[in-house]
Amino acid sequence: MNKSYEALFASFRFPSGVTVDNRVTMAPMTLMASAANGEVTDDELAYYELRSRGIGTLFTSSALVSQSGKLGENLFAIDNDDLLPGLTKLASVIRKNGTKAFIQLFHGGRLSNPALLPGGQALGASAVAAEREGAAVPKAMTEAEIESVVDDFAQAARRAIEAGFDGVEIHGANGFLLQQFFSPHSNRREDKWGGTLEKRMNFPLEVIRRVKDTVAKHASSPFAVGYRLSPEENENPGITMADTLRFVDVLAEQGLDFIHVSVDRFWAGPRREENSAKSRVVMIQEQAGGRVPVIGVGGLWTPEDVVQALGTGIPLVGLGHAMLLNPDWIEKVRSGREAEITTLLSRSSQKELRIPDKMWGMITNVPGWFNVVD
């Protein structure tokens, strides 16, 4: 192994006590390969097993905590106890080679598909549609519905513990329900759940509190709880970098194991600040990294990329596309074969990479998403 890559292979201990073998994580990506009821399938087990050989931490695709937040068909779920056998298999497959298994918990909120929902209408912080073609106006959640969804997250965390996972990531990014409560675009409430920046934090903070209480009650060994966020929105009004820096300042005091920053490019600066070239990930690290570990992601492929990212002070780096195309990324670097890391997706490699059919169709047909070659 090249000595300049040694930083990648240092162990890391999360605040909860969960310890990982190296600083590289596999970022969550949606597979669209579950059964109709959200149950884990053999295709999913094969996909994750292949990618759990050497990576320190593996984040699963987002798992649905409630049928009221369903985005589409064949999506992974953790919303009832009947799914525990499959979830247990998944945790075991990921962990058997020493990788830590973290499951991502989400609710689609106003982005959910009305045709798949009980009652036929999506729930949201307020009755404000997303700014995208065909978006429906959601129903503003009542106090009872808010409490029910908070409990859904708590129960999902319990199932994750019972299934044998090492941690959960609360999904507050990508425009989903927790982000909708924090956003001034989607949250126009005037009660304790909205109205000011501080009140817009209350729903995600309550979910965090209830999940952590559940972990304290049910986990008999170290179990991590983290939060994923998107630092900005394009909408006006929408979440700004200044909003996010205030939010992460509060998140850093919640006893979390990590904040996971969801951005396309690690080194990209804020969208609304033309004079700022500083990476948003770095800004979050500087704001809160001394109090809570920060995971940075976005367009990183090579070990040089990862070493450079770790040089900013963040303790952990996530790889998404790189791990999809290079399931043995860690082993390639460890054994001095980093020149074999590819950025090209061959149309003949689906079986070798164990990529499920629906996901394969998307990544090979969406222009610009992957560099696909014949």
pLDDT at 229: 98
Range of the domain at 329: 3-341
The contacts of residue 257 (CB under 8 Å, 6+ apart) are 14, 15, 16, 18, 167, 224, 225, 226, 292, 293
Average pLDDT over residues 131-154: 97
For the cut 80, the answer to whether the pLDDT of residue 275 exceeds it is no
Q: Are residues 363 and 287 part of one domain?
A: no
Residue 348 and residue 336 share a domain: no
Same domain for 337 and 350, yes or no, is no
* Same domain as 323, residue 370: no
Distance of alpha carbon 62 from the chain centroid = 7
Residues 298 and 318 in one domain: yes
Q: Are residues 227 and 178 located together in one domain of the fold?
A: yes
Q: What is the pTM of this model?
A: 0.97
Residue 364: φ, ψ to 5° = -95, -10
Could you report the per-residue pLDDT of 176-228, keeping only the tens digit for each? 999 999 999 999 999 999 999 999 999 999 999 999 999 999 999 999 999 99
pLDDT at 127: 98
What is the distance between the alpha carbons of residues 313 and 32, in angstroms, rounded to a whole number? 34
Is the pLDDT reported for residue 129 higher than 80? yes
Q: Which pLDDT value is given to residue 1? A: 87
Read off the pLDDT of residues 89-99 as tens digits, 9 standing for 90 and up: 999 999 999 99
49/130 Cα distance (integer angstroms): 36
Residue 273 has pLDDT above 80, yes or no: no
Number of neighbours of residue 319 by Cβ within 10 angstroms: 24
Whether the per-residue pLDDT at 77 is higher than 90: the answer is yes
Integer Cα distance of 49 and 96 in angstroms: 9
Query: Does one domain contain both 231 and 371?
Result: no
Rounded to 10 deg, the angle between the 84-95 and 143-163 helix axes is 50
Q: Do residues 324 and 373 share a domain?
A: no
Q: pLDDT at position 354, please?
A: 98
CB atoms within 10 A of CB 307: 17
- The 10s digit of each residue's pLDDT in 323-351 is 999 999 999 999 999 999 999 999 999 99
Q: Based on the domain organization, do 69 and 210 belong to the same domain?
A: yes
Q: Is the pLDDT of residue 74 over 80?
A: yes
Domain match, 88 and 235 both: yes
Q: For the domain that residue 254 is a member of, what is the CATH number?
A: 3.20.20.70
pLDDT value at position 276? 78
Question: How confident is the model over 291-321, as pLDDT tens digits?
Answer: 999 999 999 999 999 999 999 999 999 999 9
Mean pLDDT value of segment 8-14: 98
- Which of helix, strand or coil describes residue 263? coil
What's the whole-number average pLDDT of the chain?
97
| 282 sits in which H/E element | helix 280-288
**Whether residue 357 sits in one domain with residue 336:** no
Residue 132 has pLDDT above 70, yes or no: yes
pLDDT at 274 exceeding the cut of 90: no
Number of H helices, E strands in the chain: 13, 14
280-288 vs 241-251: helix axis angle to the nearest 10?
Answer: 40
Residue 146 binned pLDDT confidence (cut-offs 50, 70, 90): very high
140 pLDDT exceeds 90? yes
Distances from the Cα of 7 to the Cαs of 52, 56, 140, 298, in angstroms? 20, 13, 47, 19
Q: N- to C-terminal Cα distance for the chain?
A: 32
Residue 277, pLDDT above cutoff 70 = yes
The set of long-range contacts for 320-323, using a CB threshold of 8 Å and a minimum separation of 24, is 320/26, 320/27, 320/28, 320/29, 321/370, 323/26, 323/27, 323/51, 323/55
pLDDT over 70 percentage in the chain: 99
State how many domains the chain has.
2
- Does one domain contain both 216 and 84? yes
